[in-house]
Structure formats: C-alpha cells, structure tokens
C-alpha cells in the first residue's frame, strides 16, 4: 500500500495537510506524475514515518528541513518547506534567522538564494490556527 493509498491515515494526513495546506493535492499529484515509486517513498518514509515521529514538533522539523535544503541547494523543495514552516507557526523573522545562521556554514550564495525564495512567498501563508499552539 502506498502513501497515497493511506492518505486518510490520521497522523500522516495531518502532517501533509499541515505542511502543504491547499497545495497538498497539487504536490502529491506532481510527485506521483514524476515517479509513483519515488512519490510513495517520500510520502511513506518522510511524511508518514519521520515527520510524524514524536520528539520534535513539526515547526522544529521544518526549520531543520529548511536548513538542510539550503545546504544542498534544493531551491524548489526549499520553497515547499518554507511554506510548511510558516504553516506550522514559524515566523518570517525566524526563517530569516535560520537563513542567516545557515550562511555561516553553507555560504552566502546559498543563503542569498534562500532569502530570495523566502521573499518570493510574500505574503506568507498563514499558519493553521487549529494546528498552532
């Protein structure tokens, strides 16, 4: 059974819904169109297993994902996780600080690209009031 088949599973669906919001169907469709097997791996492992684990709240996990994506230069994925962090309660100010902090380790060109990605989200997506606490 793939992640798409288990999309109504409470924990996994809520993680994807919290991160992707109204873009969920489009993101899942794009992943599936690119490659169904890779899409299943991403939804099963990343979203249904790792991000749903206890121990770190989803906002912290998204801030870590943003930092990692800045480091590897994953600009398209970075935009998705910047939106996800904002939807989980991170502020634009916190994301700017994450980018500045990352610059010290990954370099200014990658940090500048990340800052441009963040600026491109204006106005930032609002956090889901029911999910932020």
pLDDT digits (tens, 9 = 90+) for 97-108: 999 999 999 999
pTM, entire model: 0.79
- For residues 1 and 26, state if they share a domain: yes
Where in the sequence is the domain holding 15, given as residue range(s)? 1-53
* Alpha helices (runs of H) in 4-132, residue ranges in sequence order: 10-20, 24-34, 36-41, 58-72, 75-87, 92-106, 108-119
User: Using CA atoms, how far apart are residues 51 and 11, in angstroms rounded to an integer?
Assistant: 10
61-71: pLDDT as tens digits:
999 999 999 99
Task: Among 53, 70, 85, identify where a domain stops.
Answer: 53
Q: In this structure, are 74 and 46 located in the same domain?
A: no
99 and 119 housed in the same domain: yes
CA pair distance 51, 75, nearest whole angstrom:
20
The answer to whether residue 26 sits within a structural domain is yes
> Is 83 a domain residue?
yes
Together in a domain, 88 and 113: yes
Tokens, residue 92: 């634009």
Can you give the pLDDT at residue 13?
62
């Amino acid at each position: 059974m793939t992640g798409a088949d288990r999309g109504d599973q409470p924990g996994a669906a809520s993680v994807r819904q919290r991160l992707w919001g109204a873009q969920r169907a489009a993101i899942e469709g794009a992943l599936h169109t690119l490659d169904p097997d890779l899409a299943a791996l991403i939804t099963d492992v990343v979203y249904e297993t790792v991000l749903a684990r206890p121990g770190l709240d989803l906002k912290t996990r998204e801030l870590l994902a943003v930092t990692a994506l800045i480091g590897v230069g994953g600009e398209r994925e970075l935009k998705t996780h910047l939106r996800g962090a904002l939807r989980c309660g991170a502020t634009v100010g916190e994301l700017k600080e994450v980018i500045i902090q990352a610059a010290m380790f990954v370099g200014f060109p990658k940090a500048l690209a990340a800052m441009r990605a963040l600026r491109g989200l204006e106005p930032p997506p609002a956090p889901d009031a029911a999910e932020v606490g």
